[in-house]
């Protein structure tokens, strides 16, 4: 059985819950994973691992109960809000989790994380100042603070437009490249690319605001771009290097039953991956099973 030393995750929206279901089922394959290349809100997964949460189901529960702006997990919002308040709220949440650990302070730097945990996080970001994709990790930027790296990863439409630190300005990478796998780093052992393909076809039962239809179209266009990008890239992979995870984008408040369904969808695909079965077919079978329930 392959043990992957390096992993690549790119998450936006509710596909993060499906990813966590997949990681839970394939936990044994990732037991010795050291290098974590992350983009978008996948940075929250590696952040919670760094502070000591090695149980992916626990990470899922933490994010499910995270009462931050729905746009961070659930998709785009064009309604103007106070971005400074969002930045303050999210940063305080991150600090709280850091301070729950006896090993870390709010100012923990990447070089200290690697020494204390043997985890090598690599954040893939868009530099608005340099107008290019950049990477931040314990080797290239040892003095960068963990919190700043995570905050920069979470720039998104409806959350906050940009985040500045260490003389740079970072913005939403997913609008430039939703699957920036070429910027991942592989130093040893086998690598697993997890390609997320999210579909958006939710019929809203309640109004999400006057710009809801435009926001829906933004997410649909993004999901089509994401599928095309992942499909094209996976044509260059060996079979053992990558797995496509199929999920759904949801907007509005995500309830426990809905996040549970997304998590179980990922778990089933993790099972299919271990058995070398088709994850897309597994997704279809699971959805049919859910829809057939009374």
Nearest Cα residue to 270 out of 235, 234, 232, 243: 243
Nearest Cα residue to 9 out of 151, 124, 149: 124
187 has pLDDT over 70:
no
CATH architecture of 4-292: 3-Layer(aba) Sandwich (3.40)
**Residue range 27-55: mean pLDDT, rounded:** 94
Residues of the chain with pLDDT > 70, as a percent, come to: 95
Three-point CA angle 224, 154, 66, nearest 5°: 100
Which helix or strand (DSSP H or E) is residue 168 part of? strand 168-171
pLDDT, position 157: 87
**Band of residue 239 on the pLDDT scale cut at 50, 70, 90:** low
Regarding beta strands 162-165 and 132-136, do their DSSP bridges make them parallel or antiparallel, or are they unpaired?
A: unpaired
Q: How many CB atoms lie within 10 A of CB 178?
A: 22
What is the distance between the alpha carbons of residues 200 and 39, in angstroms, rounded to a whole number? Answer: 20
Residue 195's alpha-carbon distances to 181, 202, 203, 258, 279, in angstroms, are 9, 21, 25, 21, 11
Q: Where are the domains of the chain?
A: 4-292
What is the distance between the alpha carbons of residues 139 and 120, in angstroms, rounded to a whole number? Answer: 9
3 has pLDDT over 70:
yes
**Residue range 47-73: mean pLDDT, rounded:** 86
1 has pLDDT over 70:
no
Taking all residues of the chain, what is their mean pLDDT, rounded to a whole number?
Answer: 90
What is the distance between the alpha carbons of residues 34 and 186, in angstroms, rounded to a whole number? Answer: 10
pLDDT, position 185: 82
């Amino acid at each position: 059985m392959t043990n992957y030393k390096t992993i690549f995750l790119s998450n936006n929206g509710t596909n993060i819950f499906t990813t966590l279901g997949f990681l839970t089922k394939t936990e044994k394959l990732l037991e010795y994973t050291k290098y974590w290349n992350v983009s978008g809100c996948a940075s929250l997964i590696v952040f919670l691992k760094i502070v000591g949460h090695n149980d992916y189901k626990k990470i899922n529960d933490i994010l499910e109960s995270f009462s931050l702006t729905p746009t961070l997990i659930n998709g785009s919002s064009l309604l103007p809000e106070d971005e400074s308040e969002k930045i303050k709220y999210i940063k305080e949440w991150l600090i709280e989790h850091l301070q729950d650990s006896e090993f870390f302070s709010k100012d923990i730097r990447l070089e200290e994380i690697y020494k204390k945990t043997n985890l090598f996080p690599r954040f893939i970001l868009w530099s608005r100042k340099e107008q290019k994709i950049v990477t931040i990790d314990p080797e290239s930027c040892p003095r960068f603070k963990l919190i700043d790296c995570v905050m920069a990863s979470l720039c998104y439409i409806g959350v906050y437009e940009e985040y500045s630190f260490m003389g740079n300005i970072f913005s939403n990478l997913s609008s430039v490249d939703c699957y920036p796998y070429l910027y991942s780093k592989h130093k040893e052992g086998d690598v697993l690319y997890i390609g997320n393909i999210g579909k958006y076809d939710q019929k809203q039962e309640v109004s999400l605001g006057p710009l809801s239809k435009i926001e829906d179209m933004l997410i649909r266009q993004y999901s089509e771009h994401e599928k095309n990008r992942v499909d094209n890239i996976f044509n260059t992979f060996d079979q053992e290097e990558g797995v496509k995870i199929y999920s759904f984008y949801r907007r509005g408040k995500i309830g426990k039953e809905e996040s549970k369904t997304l998590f179980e969808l990922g778990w089933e695909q993790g099972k299919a991956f271990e058995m070398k079965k088709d994850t897309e077919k597994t997704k279809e079978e699971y959805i049919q099973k859910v829809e057939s329930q009374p």
